[in-house]
Amino acid sequence: MTLTVAVVVTLALRPRREHGPRLATMACCVAIGAAIIPALIAAGFAAIGAWHPFFYGTIDHNILPGIGTWRHGPLYMLLFPATVAASVIVAVILEGGTTNATLARRRIALLLTTAAYGGALAGVWPVISREDYLPFYPMLAVTVAAVLLALGRRHGRSAVMIVLAVEMVFLVRDRSRSFHCD
Protein backbone atom coordinates (compact mmCIF):
# COMPACT_ATOMS: atom_id res chain seq x y z
CA MET A 1 0.00 0.00 0.00
CA THR A 2 2.74 2.47 0.89
CA LEU A 3 4.62 1.81 -2.33
CA THR A 4 1.42 2.27 -4.33
CA VAL A 5 0.79 5.65 -2.72
CA ALA A 6 4.39 6.69 -3.32
CA VAL A 7 4.48 5.64 -6.97
CA VAL A 8 1.13 7.20 -7.87
CA VAL A 9 1.96 10.55 -6.27
CA THR A 10 5.51 10.52 -7.66
CA LEU A 11 4.26 9.97 -11.19
CA ALA A 12 1.62 12.65 -10.71
CA LEU A 13 4.24 15.18 -9.56
CA ARG A 14 7.00 14.27 -11.99
CA PRO A 15 5.60 12.12 -14.83
CA ARG A 16 7.86 10.24 -17.18
CA ARG A 17 7.71 10.71 -20.92
CA GLU A 18 5.55 7.61 -21.37
CA HIS A 19 1.91 8.49 -21.16
CA GLY A 20 -1.31 6.75 -21.97
CA PRO A 21 -1.45 3.09 -22.89
CA ARG A 22 2.11 2.15 -21.91
CA LEU A 23 1.79 3.59 -18.42
CA ALA A 24 -1.64 1.97 -17.98
CA THR A 25 -0.25 -1.37 -19.16
CA MET A 26 2.63 -1.15 -16.69
CA ALA A 27 0.23 -0.27 -13.85
CA CYS A 28 -1.99 -3.25 -14.71
CA CYS A 29 1.02 -5.58 -14.80
CA VAL A 30 2.15 -4.38 -11.37
CA ALA A 31 -1.36 -4.81 -9.92
CA ILE A 32 -1.70 -8.31 -11.35
CA GLY A 33 1.79 -9.26 -10.21
CA ALA A 34 1.07 -8.06 -6.67
CA ALA A 35 -2.20 -10.03 -6.54
CA ILE A 36 -1.00 -13.38 -7.93
CA ILE A 37 0.75 -14.83 -4.86
CA PRO A 38 -1.94 -13.84 -2.29
CA ALA A 39 -4.65 -15.14 -4.65
CA LEU A 40 -2.84 -18.47 -5.09
CA ILE A 41 -2.39 -18.86 -1.33
CA ALA A 42 -6.07 -18.07 -0.68
CA ALA A 43 -7.15 -20.45 -3.47
CA GLY A 44 -4.98 -23.19 -1.99
CA PHE A 45 -6.65 -22.88 1.41
CA ALA A 46 -10.10 -22.79 -0.21
CA ALA A 47 -9.27 -25.89 -2.29
CA ILE A 48 -8.48 -27.98 0.78
CA GLY A 49 -11.57 -26.73 2.62
CA ALA A 50 -9.71 -24.54 5.07
CA TRP A 51 -11.05 -21.17 3.97
CA HIS A 52 -12.68 -20.31 7.31
CA PRO A 53 -9.58 -21.03 9.46
CA PHE A 54 -7.42 -19.19 6.90
CA PHE A 55 -9.71 -16.14 6.97
CA TYR A 56 -9.89 -16.19 10.76
CA GLY A 57 -6.13 -16.57 11.15
CA THR A 58 -5.26 -13.73 8.78
CA ILE A 59 -8.10 -11.23 9.19
CA ASP A 60 -10.80 -11.95 11.79
CA HIS A 61 -8.61 -12.37 14.87
CA ASN A 62 -6.86 -9.09 14.10
CA ILE A 63 -10.10 -7.09 14.19
CA LEU A 64 -10.70 -6.38 17.85
CA PRO A 65 -12.47 -3.18 18.85
CA GLY A 66 -10.72 -1.10 21.47
CA ILE A 67 -7.29 -2.68 21.11
CA GLY A 68 -4.07 -0.69 20.81
CA THR A 69 -4.32 2.46 18.73
CA TRP A 70 -7.88 1.62 17.69
CA ARG A 71 -9.12 2.59 21.16
CA HIS A 72 -8.42 6.23 20.27
CA GLY A 73 -11.35 6.17 17.86
CA PRO A 74 -11.70 6.70 14.14
CA LEU A 75 -10.23 10.21 14.27
CA TYR A 76 -6.86 8.65 15.10
CA MET A 77 -6.93 6.89 11.73
CA LEU A 78 -6.73 10.27 10.03
CA LEU A 79 -3.01 10.26 10.86
CA PHE A 80 -2.36 8.24 7.71
CA PRO A 81 -3.98 10.62 5.19
CA ALA A 82 -2.67 13.65 7.11
CA THR A 83 0.89 12.30 6.99
CA VAL A 84 0.61 11.53 3.29
CA ALA A 85 -0.86 14.99 2.58
CA ALA A 86 1.95 16.71 4.50
CA SER A 87 4.56 14.63 2.69
CA VAL A 88 3.00 15.52 -0.67
CA ILE A 89 3.46 19.20 0.19
CA VAL A 90 7.11 18.54 1.09
CA ALA A 91 7.46 16.49 -2.12
CA VAL A 92 6.15 19.39 -4.22
CA ILE A 93 8.72 21.70 -2.61
CA LEU A 94 11.44 19.08 -3.09
CA GLU A 95 10.43 18.53 -6.71
CA GLY A 96 10.61 22.23 -7.46
CA GLY A 97 14.18 22.45 -6.22
CA THR A 98 15.52 19.48 -8.19
CA THR A 99 16.33 19.97 -11.86
CA ASN A 100 17.22 16.35 -12.63
CA ALA A 101 13.92 14.53 -13.28
CA THR A 102 15.22 11.06 -12.41
CA LEU A 103 16.75 12.26 -9.15
CA ALA A 104 13.55 14.14 -8.28
CA ARG A 105 11.43 11.01 -8.86
CA ARG A 106 13.73 8.94 -6.64
CA ARG A 107 13.71 11.49 -3.83
CA ILE A 108 9.95 11.92 -4.00
CA ALA A 109 9.29 8.15 -4.07
CA LEU A 110 11.56 7.63 -1.06
CA LEU A 111 9.96 10.49 0.87
CA LEU A 112 6.42 9.34 0.14
CA THR A 113 7.16 5.67 0.88
CA THR A 114 8.67 6.59 4.24
CA ALA A 115 5.83 8.95 5.14
CA ALA A 116 3.11 6.53 4.02
CA TYR A 117 4.66 3.67 6.02
CA GLY A 118 5.04 5.80 9.14
CA GLY A 119 1.55 7.25 8.80
CA ALA A 120 -0.04 3.86 8.21
CA LEU A 121 1.82 2.39 11.15
CA ALA A 122 0.88 5.21 13.52
CA GLY A 123 -2.70 5.68 12.36
CA VAL A 124 -3.97 2.33 11.12
CA TRP A 125 -1.94 -0.46 12.72
CA PRO A 126 -3.67 -1.52 15.96
CA VAL A 127 -0.81 -2.90 18.07
CA ILE A 128 2.61 -1.37 17.49
CA SER A 129 5.80 -2.96 18.76
CA ARG A 130 9.37 -1.74 18.42
CA GLU A 131 9.97 -4.26 15.64
CA ASP A 132 7.31 -2.60 13.50
CA TYR A 133 9.57 0.44 13.20
CA LEU A 134 12.61 -1.54 11.98
CA PRO A 135 12.01 -0.74 8.28
CA PHE A 136 11.00 2.84 9.08
CA TYR A 137 14.10 4.27 10.74
CA PRO A 138 16.61 3.39 7.98
CA MET A 139 14.20 4.77 5.36
CA LEU A 140 13.77 7.91 7.46
CA ALA A 141 17.54 8.42 7.73
CA VAL A 142 18.02 8.10 3.97
CA THR A 143 15.02 10.37 3.33
CA VAL A 144 16.37 13.07 5.64
CA ALA A 145 19.76 12.85 3.91
CA ALA A 146 18.11 13.20 0.50
CA VAL A 147 16.08 16.21 1.64
CA LEU A 148 19.18 17.86 3.13
CA LEU A 149 21.06 17.31 -0.14
CA ALA A 150 18.15 18.84 -2.04
CA LEU A 151 18.19 21.91 0.20
CA GLY A 152 21.76 22.60 -0.80
CA ARG A 153 24.32 24.84 0.84
CA ARG A 154 22.04 27.81 1.40
CA HIS A 155 19.53 26.08 3.68
CA GLY A 156 21.59 23.02 4.56
CA ARG A 157 23.18 24.27 7.78
CA SER A 158 19.94 25.40 9.37
CA ALA A 159 18.24 22.17 8.30
CA VAL A 160 21.02 20.09 9.85
CA MET A 161 20.64 22.00 13.12
CA ILE A 162 16.87 21.42 13.10
CA VAL A 163 17.37 17.70 12.43
CA LEU A 164 19.88 17.46 15.28
CA ALA A 165 17.51 19.26 17.65
CA VAL A 166 14.63 16.94 16.74
CA GLU A 167 16.89 13.92 17.19
CA MET A 168 17.93 15.14 20.64
CA VAL A 169 14.27 15.52 21.63
CA PHE A 170 13.56 11.94 20.54
CA LEU A 171 16.60 10.63 22.40
CA VAL A 172 15.64 12.40 25.62
CA ARG A 173 12.02 11.32 25.28
CA ASP A 174 12.95 7.66 24.68
CA ARG A 175 15.46 7.76 27.52
CA SER A 176 12.89 9.11 29.99
CA ARG A 177 10.38 6.47 28.87
CA SER A 178 12.83 3.65 29.54
CA PHE A 179 13.11 4.68 33.22
CA HIS A 180 9.33 4.56 33.74
CA CYS A 181 8.55 0.91 33.08
CA ASP A 182 4.95 -0.01 33.82
The Cα-based distances of 48 to 38, 51, 57 in angstroms read: 16, 8, 16
* Residues 88-126: tens digit of each pLDDT: 888 888 877 778 888 888 888 899 999 999 988 888 887
How far is the C-alpha of 148 from the C-alpha of 156, rounded, in Å? 6
Domain definitions of the chain by residue range = 2-179
Residue type, 104: A
- Looking at residue 4, its pLDDT comes to 73
How far is the C-alpha of 24 from the C-alpha of 29, rounded, in Å? 9
Range 166-172 average pLDDT: 78
How far is the C-alpha of 126 from the C-alpha of 122, rounded, in Å? 8
What confidence tier does 175 reach under pLDDT thresholds 50, 70, 90? low
Is residue 99 within 8 A of residue 127, CB to CB? The reply is no
Burial of 113 (0-12, 13-18, 19+ CB in 10 A): buried
* Residues 2-37: tens digit of each pLDDT: 677 777 777 777 666 656 677 678 778 878 888 899
